């Protein structure tokens, strides 16, 4: 997977490209990133990439020619997509990340100021993507968000090949809660079932907590989720309030009452 990023602030990407999962993906060559400085394609002595808007008004507009030349300089793969990061684009989500992970080459154009000249949008762009309904000062953060979400879906980028299977949104649900050592923290114990070694009980507990979190935090997701009969049964009980309300936690020192998941 190749990412080509067009920006006037290439330095913004350096720390991000070095660190964590994404840094490892870049170092191992699974993900190939090229940062293209749009300014290098400006032909005047001041390397101008923006100008005043026709019609007047505040703010500057990114000039079309440097962006166009920068795009022309890219060797295009067969399956290549040009994306403009824009608050006016389609809202980015996990399904979009999966779809983008199928492409060979993704070219991300980062706008600044009032945005880019409309003719670039009309003639050179395949898709506009927004990372949310708010306005940022530039597309660079959006480009990082898209690259991160897409690249972690590419085989080999995450350590275990299944480690993203249960992430939030993958099955239309939010993910279940996680615990690690110590066993008791701030008076709250890790749910017993996670220490039981019983894989079936753990599976049902995780599914229940995933459904519970989705019901509590994002009930809108349940309408589109692919739910099994078992899920429907669990959800019915959660809705009736007959399935505990505290993720199975026990407070240390308190009475050892089973409040969480009851395995059926």
Return the active site residues: 87, 114, 152, 167
Counting contacts by CB under 6 A, is residue 114 touching ligand SAM? Answer: yes
For residue 235, the minimal CB distance to ligand SAM (Å) is 33
Q: Which of residues 119-178 bind ligand SAM (CB under 6 A)?
A: 130-132, 134-139, 142
Distances (CA, A) of 164 to 8, 75, 152, 159: 33, 31, 8, 10
Helix axes 20-27, 140-151, angle to 10 degrees: 70
User: Using CB atoms within 10 A of its CB, is residue 161 exposed (0-12), middle (13-18) or buried (19+)?
Assistant: exposed
Question: Backbone dihedral region of 113: left (phi > 0), alpha (psi from -120 to 50 degrees) or beta?
Answer: left
For residue 57, the minimal CB distance to ligand SAM (Å) is 11
The correct pick among 38, 100, 106, 115 for binding ligand SAM (CB under 6 A) is 115
* x-or-dash string of contact with ligand SAM, 76-95, rule CB under 6 A: ---------xxxx-------
Q: What is the CA radius of gyration of the chain?
A: 24
For residue 13, the minimal CB distance to ligand SAM (Å) is 15
Strand order across the 80-91 sheet: 32-37, 2-7, 105-110, 80-91, 127-130
For residue 157, the minimal CB distance to ligand SAM (Å) is 23
Residue whose C-beta lies closest to ligand SAM? 111
Residues that bind ligand SAM (CB under 6 A): 85-88, 110-112, 114-115, 130-132, 134-139, 142
């Amino acid at each position: 997977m190749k990412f080509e990023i067009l920006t006037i602030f290439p330095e913004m990407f350096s720390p991000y490209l070095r660190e964590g999962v994404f840094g490892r993906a870049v170092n191992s060559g699974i993900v190939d990133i090229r940062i293209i400085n749009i300014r290098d394609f400006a032909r005047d002595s001041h390397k101008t990439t923006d100008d005043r808007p026709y019609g007047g008004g505040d703010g500057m507009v990114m000039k079309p020619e440097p962006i166009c030349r920068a795009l022309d300089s890219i060797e295009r793969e067969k399956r290549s997509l040009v994306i403009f990061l824009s608050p006016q684009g389609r809202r980015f989500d996990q399904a979009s990340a999966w779809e983008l992970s199928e492409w060979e080459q993704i070219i991300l154009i980062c706008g600044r100021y009032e945005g880019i000249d409309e003719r670039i949008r009309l003639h050179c762009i395949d898709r506009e993507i927004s990372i949310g309904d708010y306005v940022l000062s530039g597309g660079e953060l959006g480009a990082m968000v898209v690259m991160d979400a897409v690249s972690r879906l590419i085989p080999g980028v995450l350590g275990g090949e299944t480690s993203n299977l249960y992430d939030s949104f993958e099955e239309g649900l939010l993910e279940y809660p996680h615990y690690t050592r110590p066993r008791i923290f701030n008076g709250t114990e890790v749910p017993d079932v996670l220490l039981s070694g019983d894989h079936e009980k753990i599976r049902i507990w995780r599914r229940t907590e995933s459904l519970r979190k989705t019901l509590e935090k994002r009930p809108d997701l349940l309408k589109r989720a692919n739910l099994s009969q078992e899920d429907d049964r669990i959800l019915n009980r959660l809705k009736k309030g007959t399935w505990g309300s505290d993720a199975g936690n026990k407070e240390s020192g308190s009475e050892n009452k089973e409040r969480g998941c009851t395995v059926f």
